[in-house]
Amino acid sequence: MRIADMNWMQVEEYLKSDDRAAVPLGSTEQHAYLSLSVDSILADRVAVEAAEPLGIPVFPVLAYGVTPYFRAYPGSVSLRLATYLRLVEDILDSLAHSGFRRILLVNGHGGNAPAETFAVEWLAGHPDRQLKFHNWWRAPRTWAHVQAIDPAASHASWMENFPWTRLPGLALPDEQKIVPARPGRPLLTGEAMRAHYGDGNFAGRYHRPDEEMLAIWQTAVQEARALLEGGWE
């Protein structure tokens, strides 16, 4: 259930019998022909669908992340790393103060990876709390499912093209994009990043049949639900 559908008294009552919560971490950045909110949409949705049968509240997605390399693509928004980690810290501190003791961070953006390292630091100061950091698309079963369908899967390619991330009325290229590898070359950002990746698809087909995508989605939801359900100390 979404925390947006609860009031504070209902949360207080919930905490008398359970102390779990989920927090989705997203981003607002280019995804080629897909929504700029792909990472936020997917992190939020997988958290909500995973938590619903368990009655666990899901907090609003943190819709901005760390994505400085996409600043040449209009609409992309990047937070400074220090800003982002302070936001994550304040969110965790608030949840801990409320009484949540077991928190699943459901991450939908690779650039947010430093939050996982920070989570360990935060836990060191909160030994009575537990955290799990879940990159939903890179989780073992979900990633294996993606690879079994088509190993040419990357940012803004078919693997992120779900019915709820594509935009109406837009025709996507019906081809497999190939991007030259850059082993040993400097990191890309800004206009150099845009010149190399063009529309923003890092490599792979732009879309695959919905039945394949929905099957992947079910795997992702089940994998996230298992983390919420068990494995806590």
For 86-139, what is each residue's pLDDT tens digit? Answer: 999 999 999 999 999 999 999 999 999 999 999 999 999 999 999 999 999 999
Calculate ∠ Cα 157-163-133, nearest 5°. Answer: 65
Please say if the pLDDT value at position 9 is more than 90.
yes
pLDDT at 87: 98
Return mean pLDDT, the chain: 97
- Is residue 5 within 8 Å of 56, Cβ to Cβ? no
> What secondary structure letter does DSSP report for 183?
T
Tokens for 198? 């063009």
pLDDT at 24: 98
- The mean pLDDT of 54-71, rounded to a whole number, is 98
Architecture per CATH, domain 3-229, reads as 3-Layer(aba) Sandwich (3.40)
Tokens for 19? 């102390």
Please say if the pLDDT value at position 233 is more than 90.
no
Please say if the pLDDT value at position 55 is more than 90.
yes
User: For the stretch 132-164, what's the b/e string if a residue is b when 16 or more beta carbons lie within 10 angstroms of its beta carbon?
Assistant: bbbbbbebeebbebbeebeeebebbbbbbbbee
pLDDT more than 70, % of the chain: 100
71 vs 47: CA distance, rounded Å: 28
- The mean pLDDT of 26-51, rounded to a whole number, is 98
pLDDT in tens, 131-165: 999 999 999 999 999 999 999 999 999 999 999 99
167 vs 146: CA distance, rounded Å: 22
- The mean pLDDT of 216-222, rounded to a whole number, is 98
Grouping H, G, I as helix, E, B as strand and the rest as coil, residue 165 is: coil
- The mean pLDDT of 23-41, rounded to a whole number, is 98
pLDDT at 69: 97
pTM above 0.95, yes or no: yes
* Pairing, β 20-25 against β 176-177: unpaired
Please say if the pLDDT value at position 43 is more than 90.
yes
- Is residue 220 within 8 Å of 139, Cβ to Cβ? yes
Please say if the pLDDT value at position 54 is more than 90.
yes
What are the residue boundaries of the structural domains of the chain, listed by start?
3-229
- The mean pLDDT of 183-192, rounded to a whole number, is 96
